[in-house]
Every structure is written in structure tokens, then in C-alpha cells.
Amino acid sequence: MAAQDGPILIIGTERSGSNLLRLVLDAHSRIAVPHPPHFLRYLSGIPYDGDVDAMVDDAMRLLRHHIHPWPHVIDRAAVTRAAGPSLFGVVSAIYDQYRVAEGAARWGCKSTFMVEHVDEVLAGLPHARFLWLVRDPRDVAASAKRAVFGPCHPYRMAERWTAEQELARAALERWGPSVVHLVRYEDLVSAPEREIRAICDFVGEAFEPAMLAHHLGGHARMTASLSASWRTAGDPITTARIGAHRRGLTDRERRQVESVAARAMETLRYPFDPASRAEPAPGQFGVALRGLAVRLAVEARSLRTDRNHFRRWRRDATVHRLRRRARPGRVRVPAGESR
């Protein structure tokens, strides 16, 4: 694989504008970026012991129950023939088949959880490039309170954000700016052409004006139609959601987020109230109870508004079955999830 055809992976934390960046990249004539089934997120803790057939079977099950159906049928036999010996080798074969179906030269992945697998990706595909997308953690937490994905409690979301920024920074320090490129959401929406041109330079592609009109494409309209959590995917690039925490978080929630994320916020140039460092950590029971209450409200809204609500439940049930089938005590559950 030539360097200019290596995959492009968006890493960081969900609710940071990854659908926006995915669709911007997908609007490029040479790049195909489907909505991710989060293969490694859900399958990497299962002990396959090198059984490629089992990996392909489970990946195809996830794809069948994906909450954002792909427009192309993936050939299981072709995946098995093309797959490398690792789980990421299977994932790469699936994405490459999608790329061919789209008529693109390279594929991209917007599963931000791949921040946990940078070394693994580069071991298999050394020409891969990573876009570290970061957004103000208070806005991430405010968005998560309304979304069906991830922890609803701002304190828990701040813990995830902090851990994932530390992983991304470690990847940048280990592999350097020629492999990992930092993209600030606030800069992307404030000066989109400048930032998208910089991204194109980083990945070795020519800038295309269509990238500034991603919302006009069919993929953006499909994404926006499936879930209230993705509704903005069909909107043009806007600064309207910068500072969303001012409306979406209480003062106490804001202080809780800042107390967890202060160090990373300082490094990434997000101003915060220094007094928040002294904010006491909330009790686990209170966090769990409040998180459950918000989750129930979010699920009730999803039941009324989301076209993919039951697909998400089926996906979650599929993941649960796959993990239960694994040998007891050997499944590694990703950070932020319960067994």
C-alpha cells in the first residue's frame, strides 16, 4: 500500500464532532468513511487466540446489527481471504471492501475508541494516519447528557475524555506529528477551509471544495435521519455549538468536569475556573443514580424519535451475547462500560 493510500482514523472522544469530520472526509472523491460498527471497541476483549474465522463471524454479526446500516453488502468469504491474522486485520479487510464498493482510493474510520489501538493499527498498516479530534470537555459532557451513546453523567464523561486525551497525546509523542495530527473542534468549525486544508496536507490529499458542503451529500442526510443524537450531521458547518455547556450543564456539573479534566484542559488550551480543582468528587451512588435517571429520559426520547432505536438495542444484545460466550473472566471490558 502506498503512503498516500493509507487509512485515515479519527481518534479522541465521542461527542467531539467526529460525525462532522467523518462526513467532511467522506465528501472527498478519494476517501470513503462509513459510520463505524466499532469492531475493536466491542470485540477486542474477546480471546480469539488467532481464530480468524471466529473473528470474521463476530465482526459480520456486528455489521448485520449495525445501528447505521452500510449501503454495500460485505462478502464474508472475501473478508476471510483478505484478513490478516489479527482482529484489526479483519476490520481492515471489511473497510477495504467498503472502499472498493465506494470507488475510493483509501478508507477512513471514525471510531474514536481506536485511540486505544494506535500501535496495533500501525503494526499492520504503517501508512495509517490519525486525526486526533479534541473538543472542550464541558461541551462533550453537555452533548453526552442528551445522547444515547456513552455515559450520560458529566463526571463519568469527563473521566473518559481525560483518559482518551492522555492516550492520544501519548500516541502523538510516540509517533510524531507526521502520523498523528491534532484537530481542535473549535478551530474546525470557526475556520473550516483553513483547517480542512491543513488536514488534507497532513493526509496527503488535495483539498476539494465539496468537503465544505458535506451536509449536502446523501450520507449526511441518512445519518441525520436515523437518530436525534446525529441530527446535526445534516447541518452546514457552524460555530453554534461552541460553548454548549453554558446551556447544557449546571454550575456544579461544570465544576465536576473541570475538576477531572483540568490538567488536560490546560495542556489543550481550554480555559477553566482554577477553583474547580477543589470541587469534591461526587459519590458513586449519586453518580449512578443521576446517570440512570438521565439515561431513562434519553432512552424515552430515543424511543419516540430515533429510527434506529431497536437496532441499537439489538446491537447491544449482540455484544452482550458475544462477550458472555467468551471464556469466563477473560473478557476485557473497555473503559466506561459495565459487564
Q: What average pLDDT does this structure show over 41-50?
A: 94
Grid cell in block for residue 110: 471514525
Q: Half-sphere exposure (CA, 13 Å, Cβ side) for 329? A: 0
pLDDT of residue 314: 95
pLDDT of residue 339: 30
pLDDT tens, residue by residue, 232-251: 999 999 999 999 999 999 99
Quick one: 3-325 is in which CATH superfamily?
A: P-loop containing nucleotide triphosphate hydrolases (3.40.50.300)
Q: What average pLDDT does this structure show over 159-163?
A: 98
Tell me the pLDDT band of 37, cut-offs 50, 70 and 90: very high
How far apart CA 86 and CA 124 sit, in angstroms, is: 9
pLDDT tens, residue by residue, 97-154: 999 999 999 999 999 999 999 999 999 999 999 999 999 999 999 999 999 988 899 9
* pTM attached to this predicted model: 0.94
Asked if 171 and 181 touch (Cβ cutoff 8 Å), the reply is: no
C-beta contacts of 232-238 below 8 A and 24+ residues apart: 232/19, 232/20, 233/19, 233/20, 233/23, 237/20, 237/188, 237/189, 237/192, 237/212, 238/189
Q: What average pLDDT does this structure show over 5-13?
A: 96
pLDDT of residue 336: 47
Per-domain residue ranges of the chain: 3-325
Of residues 336 and 204, the one with the higher pLDDT is 204
pLDDT of residue 334: 54
Exposure b/e, 83-121, CB count within 10 A at least 16 = b: beebbbbbbbbbbbbbbebbebebbbbbbbbbbbbbebb
pLDDT of residue 326: 76
* Phi/psi of residue 213, nearest 5 degrees: -125, 40
